Amino acid sequence: MTAIHRFHPTVLREYDIRGVIGKTLGPDDARAIGQGFGTIVVRAGGTRVAIGYDGRLSSPELEQACVEGLMSTGLEVVRIGLGPTPMLYFTVRHLELDAGVMITGSHNPPDYNGFKMMLGKGPVYGEQIQEIGRLVHGGDLETGVGSSRQLDVSEDYISRLAGDYDGTRDLTIVWDAGNGAVGHILRRLTDKLPGKHILLFEEVDGTFPNHHPDPTVPENLEDLIHAVAANKADIGIGFDGDGDRIGAVDAQGGIVWGDQLLAIYAADVLKTHPGATIIADVKSSQTLYDDIAKNGGKPLMWKTGHSLLKAKMAETGSPLAGEMSGHIFFADKYYGFDDAPYCGVRLAGLVSRKGSLAELKSVLPPVFNTPEVRFQVDEERKFKAVEEIVARAKALAGDGIEVNDIDGVRVKTVDGWWLLRASNTQDVLVARAEAFSEAGLERLKGSIRDQLSQSGIAAPDGF
């Protein structure tokens, strides 16, 4: 009889599977995930699945257990070893496999780890993740005699990345791997590119001894900014722990955020895809949407979440999508998944051909905005509070006020816009506001305070 395993209630998330090693996640969970996901793959007609892992200390043990679970369902498992998450995505596409599993804690603290999966060419999220839990909890699992083999795909992957470099002049570039999984391929990638390349923290180290690998946090970019200045570099490029999110700084040390990068990429992509739909998440700047439209594209605002954006891209045939968080997806010349090393190669080519990154960013008008502010609200309260705020906001719509409730509530006014949304992965609400003047920003923050107060929630610091 098949053993029944129960996951900790916090582990099966909206976009992926994630937990704290030794507390909510361990090898037994990894084996059960292999069994549950393997069952889904087999029942979909699949026979071959790839698996990879990031540089966290717990990743090799989780990979071994997950392989055992996958093989127990009768699958052939292709083990690609250590590398960034997009190398796993590449493997599934390049070898035309049926599915993929990546063991990664992404940008979370060192004691976290987790799983990202793909079935066919698409991401696994939402109900499919919950289905893994149901299959495992009920013992409704396929059984068979599978196999596994090791395969080094890194050279094929690196060659594919370097192949789309289209620069015309040599640059000096600083690359910060943050001791994450990108460090495993970064030296070999930059050796294939022209120009001068300075690598920071390329040694893969799951304790992240230099800084945390999350390029959305300004203090994590300080080493990169200093190295750009010291080397008189043209640009600096940073990565998160598993290499699916990019961060960038210009030659003056100015941070270029994910939505600004998307605007720069979009202006270029729209030259070869005139009139195309470009997708961004609800947290992105209005200046991005306006710039897409100015360049002849069709801006589409969509829900936050890398899996959701990938699915929307496939549905609409969009050549480019992205999030403020640095997940950027190229279907133009590439596969439509979030690959930060590939984005780095494309950015280097753009700066080489077009001029400085600061100049490329300067086409966007200056705005005053808050960072993405996350603050704790009880799990059972957060979604209900957003529903209440949506209803009140809609009652105010008209006369210069537009309300978008595709993901939380985003309210556009004459001053700019403000956003409140419930996180799908944590017991937090997310707030952000952007205006064309400091006074306007204060008014928008006041609107957020007022709406939270009416729902009995204290506003976060800074609002």
**Residues identified as active-site:** 106
Q: Do the strands 368-369 and 428-435 form a parallel or antiparallel pair, or are they unpaired? A: antiparallel
How far apart CA 13 and CA 25 sit, in angstroms, is 13
Q: Which residues contact 4 (CB under 8 A, 6 or more apart)?
A: 136, 137, 138, 139
Q: Is there a contact between 27 and 10 (Cβ–Cβ < 8 Å)?
A: no
Q: What is the CA radius of gyration of the chain?
A: 22
Residues 89 and 80 sit within 8 Å (Cβ to Cβ) = no
Spatial separation of the C-alpha atoms in residues 458 and 58, rounded to whole Å:
38
The Cα-based distances of 332 to 23, 229, 239, 389 in angstroms read 42, 32, 21, 38
* Tokens describing residue 179: 């001791």
Which residues are within 8 A (CB) of 381 and not within 5 positions of it... i.e. 6 or more apart?
Answer: 457
Using CA atoms, how far apart are residues 250 and 255, in angstroms rounded to an integer? 7
Q: From 390, 394, 439, 445, select the one nearest 417 (Cα to Cα).
A: 445
How far is Cα 59 from Cα 402, in angstroms, rounded to an integer?
A: 46
Phi then psi dihedrals of residue 150, to 5 deg: -85, 140
Spatial contact of 248 and 236, defined as CB atoms under 8 Å apart? yes
Residue environment code for 240-257, b if the CB has 16+ CB neighbours within 10 A, otherwise e: bbbbbbbbbbbbeeebbb
Cα(278)–Cα(315) distance, rounded to whole angstroms? 12
Q: With contact defined as beta carbons under 8 Å apart, do 200 and 175 qualify? A: yes
Angle between helix 258-272 and helix 340-354 axes, rounded to 10 deg: 70
Q: What is the C-alpha to C-alpha distance for residues 243 and 335, in angstroms, rounded to an integer?
A: 16
Closest CA to 89 of 290, 306, 298: 306
Q: Residue 398 has what DSSP assignment?
A: B
